[in-house]
Structure 1
């Protein structure tokens, strides 16, 4: 009966998609170009491999606008503004950071114009055609020079890392947007360079990478702007996962649905799209993820960490650590407190936090009969929130990069991005209240909703997973005991785990350039940039591999030669479904990216904005996008470039005392709201890779983890709005400290009123 009702709800939700409005195709195209601008990373000008030359521009340029189509529409203006912004961004970068050495003919630097809407070369224009307005962006003459400076006919000549940076940005855009395109990057010196052309019309999108003076290469497809059907793949996957409690099957259905819709959007018939879309699931979406080195390194990191934990259990090291921690964690409550504190300490990366804290604390939680759902919630709630708030994490430079280029629209410099980020910290209400919520729950030992059911079950019956539940790691691994006769020595676990943290951090610093002669580690901006440049899966994989190696060494020292492979295999043999679900989560993220789910939501809901409600609207919008796509970073990169100018302009219309206005304050609030909404949606989404990893780390049923965590996340979301974003926007000048005190009081009151105390349980001496 319950399952039938759940399926009925799924059907109603899917049908309700068709009641949503259509989106503006050209505005969505503008959003796509906006993200190309925001994601293109510029090179380090101090790098000796960077070569830049600027040619003088013609004194007079022909106006190539077609007559009769001016002034442009609002959507056309948005497209033009992106071209002008790209022009300003690269031009300012060249002026401020690259030493200009004039030639004999040029005794003084010339004005730099990389992109001009009015040049005879038509570098950027908007014209009217039979098919509708056309937005066109061209980047001419990206050259591959081996050494030295060169001045030619083109406006911009790049080589070395400068050229690679442009290509990297284009490749990211090609992988994320509709359609998937290839980037031509095998340009040899003397071929004339690289031309980049992006054209958007209401029915066609062309992204072409051309060799100058040669036959064009690239791809052109019929293009339909993302519409309400773009919500179907994530909605179907999420709804079926919650209704059927079979995440793998549900994700497959969602991916197939998206592949079918993409084929239909390219003009295929129903049967052709069903067959072709199903084929694309394996040949395109799976192979793209399977062949991605970053994805492979993440899988390798998870495998090494879980194998290491299995070996540490068998060689007695983890039991030795548990015995030492038991001085402080000798009850269910104190165990949860220690888990929470460990989550706060591992602040440099959310992946490392999830796997390290979850993998090491799960055996101790099992001993004191803490449900897997509760330990997964604690781990998940101290991963992204801590990394998102930390000024020394792999997150901060990315977060700053998504909005810093837009700060000139608010009268600030792009170099003020880190100062603005620090200003947002008191307004990061969801992350702060999520951490407060965990503290209140573990200290009061109270829970409510499905989490109380799970905790009561574990405490009274010792059943750590719901009957019929499917843990992401099997019982053979979680029930493993130290080898008979082995001496329990904590150092056998402490040294490998410490080595994992140390090697991971050192690799992040090395890859990020911290050991280079020109590294600027004396400033927050320089240090966080190093952490961002060094972020990725490789440092995690390298650290986990070293940790696994040391675990093997100490097991040999303990005389367990024949137990090592067996212990690792017992941990890994049952996690095949976890790897499948992780790949499927990445696949449906790629489908959502290609079909334009985020762009449709942004365009459709973006008009629901009022000055006083703007932070609340942005918080809910970013939460919806992140929940639907399973990506907090993807949501930030889409929404934040659009927020700075809008929020500052609206806030400047709200006068304050002494001739000032609320522009800067509303901008800070709005940036914080998008950052927080992105983390909130990711926190709740069953298709988020961090949510999946939390289930893997503690061997929880994935759907049960999502179901028990969602009520807490929703309560924190409501408190963040009611106590945080609404009063801060409605009462300009409201002290955020008032919001933090009010929100904490509300959370405590809700837990006291809604929650019930979980009964104490006798510890299980046989737990690993």
Structure 2
């Protein structure tokens, strides 16, 4: 039986995700999903299955984009280790405690920092996590909550930022003036706006629900890991000479160097216009350049001032690598699983054929594409891959310049980000876990109820958008739906509080 291009192409990630959520063991679950994909592709031939499995894995490891991301991860791990060793993180944490007086302030500060780092989601997750961990720990905020705030800010802020690696990716998948089309989708990207609104609401109100409440209750008792701490990596002992500037300057330089490196790879310094350079940049290579330059800057900043010794600087290199081993392993397995779905079993072809063979009314097309994009991104773990599959279909169906084209592409972007947000095999979700140093399955299981709450509001909002084609009508209905959803959340939170008191 031929499983290529059929519904079976989605079965491997479904198995991996289900097992991860049930067993709480992400590595074995991903490997079983990969093995399932290899068995389906080879028709259950044992020798061919093993050969194909390692062929796909090595091809993903040989991919220049993936290698760049892994190098960036290692460099960023080294940067974090150096800032910790120099005492910059501790000094910033002490300073933040004096300036940030409440748990609410700590969460909003995390959200604000994430909103400022809009260039790239990987960069966002890891930088915000390393800077804010000491602060959120001191205010007894669970690592799962920190991971949620990081994850709910990273991709949503990147997908509505005109200058970001995500904007560059979307622009590349559209025909004609892709950048202008992307700008028009920003107001209609309901998932991005509503998710950020939910982060603010949850941060201010403190009304958690579902598995997150358990983690927050444990954090109030001093256990920010809720008893799950296998992801914790021993940090280097900090220097007593460190100052706030020893964290702020490297982070600021990292942001500046990464932006500069991104436009460099797009040809800006060869005369290419800024916007064009950003849309045609190589994010993977740009992030590697930016992080490497930052390492040199940190060496010059720390060593002459004797904040740390040369040997201590060298010792932080393997320490930083160790901090990222878990994220690297999960990424490699997730990429391999995605390779089987996309390249071998052709999940994209299955979705394309299903869409072409189905007659969908124009009015409900945006809502339908939102659900399809959500499911595809959730199953494959890639929003960019979802963009590549669905955006060309949408642009072929609707005329260029039409309002329905803008709305439908917005729904695809929103659905893809939502699916990516809740998928255990998404690299952005993996980065958020790594940045918060939170157990990966704990992060996913605690944020799924939050993300799905917003997804329901988005689905209904896109029905209104498809019918009215009006931003004002869509915005009003979406805000009303959000308010109703948050009211329900408050009721659920209150009920859980009552049940906890009665249980005691």
Extract unaligned runs of 5+ from structure 2: 498-504
Alpha carbons 1:234, 1:629 under 8 Å: kept: yes
Tell me the equivalent position of 1:82: none
1:524-556 deviation per Cα after TM superposition (whole angstroms, max 9, x unaligned): xxx1x2112223212212222232333344443
The correspondence for 2:313, drawn from 546, 564, 574, is 564
Tell me the equivalent position of 1:384: 155
For the pair 1:304 / 2:75, whether they are aligned, the reply is yes
Larger strand proportion of the pair: 1
Tell me the equivalent position of 1:286: 57
1:333-357 deviation per Cα after TM superposition (whole angstroms, max 9, x unaligned): 2111101001111111111111111
1:478-534 deviation per Cα after TM superposition (whole angstroms, max 9, x unaligned): xx5423xx22312222222222112111111111111223x334xxxxx1x211222
Distance 2:396 2:53 in 1: 39
Tell me the equivalent position of 1:243: 22
The correspondence for 1:476, drawn from 225, 228, 234, is 234
How far is the alpha carbon of 1:732 from its aligned partner?
4.6
The correspondence for 2:351, drawn from 601, 604, 618, is 601
RMSD between superposed Cα atoms in Å? 2.4
- The verdict on how the C-alpha distance between 1:398 and 1:314 changes in structure 2, with shifts beyond 3 A counting, is closer
Distance 1:757 1:574 in 2: 39
- The verdict on how the C-alpha distance between 1:690 and 1:734 changes in structure 2, with shifts beyond 3 A counting, is closer
Larger RCO (CA within 8 A; separation ≥ 6) = 2
The correspondence for 1:690, drawn from 415, 418, 428, is 428
How far is the alpha carbon of 1:574 from its aligned partner?
5.4
For the pair 1:367 / 2:104, whether they are aligned, the reply is no
How far is the alpha carbon of 1:608 from its aligned partner?
6.1
SS across alignment from 2:151: helix
How far is the alpha carbon of 1:646 from its aligned partner?
2.6
Distance 1:578 1:494 in 2: 25
Alpha carbons 1:504, 1:539 under 8 Å: kept: yes
Distance 1:467 1:344 in 2: 30
How far is the alpha carbon of 1:707 from its aligned partner?
0.2
Matched residue count: 492
Alpha carbons 2:233, 2:322 under 8 Å: kept: no
337-346 or 541-550, which deviates more? 541-550
SS across alignment from 1:447: coil
Written as runs of structure 1 = structure 2, the 5 A alignment for 1:36-75 is none
- The verdict on how the C-alpha distance between 1:498 and 1:574 changes in structure 2, with shifts beyond 3 A counting, is closer
- The verdict on how the C-alpha distance between 1:374 and 1:608 changes in structure 2, with shifts beyond 3 A counting, is farther
Tell me the equivalent position of 2:186: 425
1:649-698 deviation per Cα after TM superposition (whole angstroms, max 9, x unaligned): 9xxxxxxxxxxxxx933222211111111111111111111111111111
SS across alignment from 1:326: helix
1:455-491 deviation per Cα after TM superposition (whole angstroms, max 9, x unaligned): 111112x1111324532xx2413xx5423xx223122
How far is the alpha carbon of 1:367 from its aligned partner?
1.7
Tell me the equivalent position of 1:729: 466
Tell me the equivalent position of 1:261: 40
Distance 1:422 1:673 in 2: 14
1:558-582 deviation per Cα after TM superposition (whole angstroms, max 9, x unaligned): 2434433444544543543332111
- The verdict on how the C-alpha distance between 1:328 and 1:719 changes in structure 2, with shifts beyond 3 A counting, is farther
Tell me the equivalent position of 1:136: none
Alpha carbons 2:31, 2:333 under 8 Å: kept: yes
1:204-225 deviation per Cα after TM superposition (whole angstroms, max 9, x unaligned): xxxxxxxxxxxxxxxxxxx875
How far is the alpha carbon of 1:602 from its aligned partner?
3.8
- The verdict on how the C-alpha distance between 1:708 and 1:559 changes in structure 2, with shifts beyond 3 A counting, is closer
SS across alignment from 2:268: coil
- The verdict on how the C-alpha distance between 1:387 and 1:304 changes in structure 2, with shifts beyond 3 A counting, is same
Written as runs of structure 1 = structure 2, the 5 A alignment for 1:135-214 is none
1:388-430 deviation per Cα after TM superposition (whole angstroms, max 9, x unaligned): 10111122232133232xxxxxxxxx23x33333222221101
- TM-score normalized by the length of structure 2: 0.91
Tell me the equivalent position of 2:262: 508
Which protein shows a greater Rg?
1
Alpha carbons 2:352, 2:393 under 8 Å: kept: no
Alpha carbons 1:503, 1:543 under 8 Å: kept: yes
The correspondence for 2:281, drawn from 534, 542, 545, is 534
Extract unaligned runs of 5+ from structure 1: 1-202, 204-222, 265-269, 405-413, 522-526, 650-662, 760-768
For the pair 1:448 / 2:209, whether they are aligned, the reply is yes
How far is the alpha carbon of 1:279 from its aligned partner?
2.7
Tell me the equivalent position of 2:247: 493
SS across alignment from 1:515: helix
How far is the alpha carbon of 1:306 from its aligned partner?
1.6
Distance 2:172 2:205 in 1: 40
How far is the alpha carbon of 1:360 from its aligned partner?
1.2
Q: Please list every run of at least 4 consecutive aligned residues from structure 1 whose deviation after the TM superposition is greater than 6 angstroms.
A: none
- The verdict on how the C-alpha distance between 1:756 and 1:534 changes in structure 2, with shifts beyond 3 A counting, is farther
Written as runs of structure 1 = structure 2, the 5 A alignment for 1:606-645 is 607=358, 609-645=360-396
SS across alignment from 1:446: coil
For the pair 1:464 / 2:224, whether they are aligned, the reply is yes
1:409-452 deviation per Cα after TM superposition (whole angstroms, max 9, x unaligned): xxxxx23x333332222211011101111011001122111111
Alpha carbons 1:446, 1:757 under 8 Å: kept: no
Distance 1:262 1:753 in 2: 48
Alpha carbons 2:115, 2:153 under 8 Å: kept: yes
How far is the alpha carbon of 1:239 from its aligned partner?
0.9
How far is the alpha carbon of 1:633 from its aligned partner?
0.9
Tell me the equivalent position of 2:326: 577
1:231-275 deviation per Cα after TM superposition (whole angstroms, max 9, x unaligned): 2211111111111111111111111111121112xxxxx4xx122
SS across alignment from 1:619: helix
Distance 1:324 1:354 in 2: 22
Alpha carbons 1:343, 1:353 under 8 Å: kept: yes
How far is the alpha carbon of 1:713 from its aligned partner?
0.5
Distance 1:739 1:327 in 2: 41
Distance 1:605 1:450 in 2: 35
Alpha carbons 2:74, 2:320 under 8 Å: kept: no
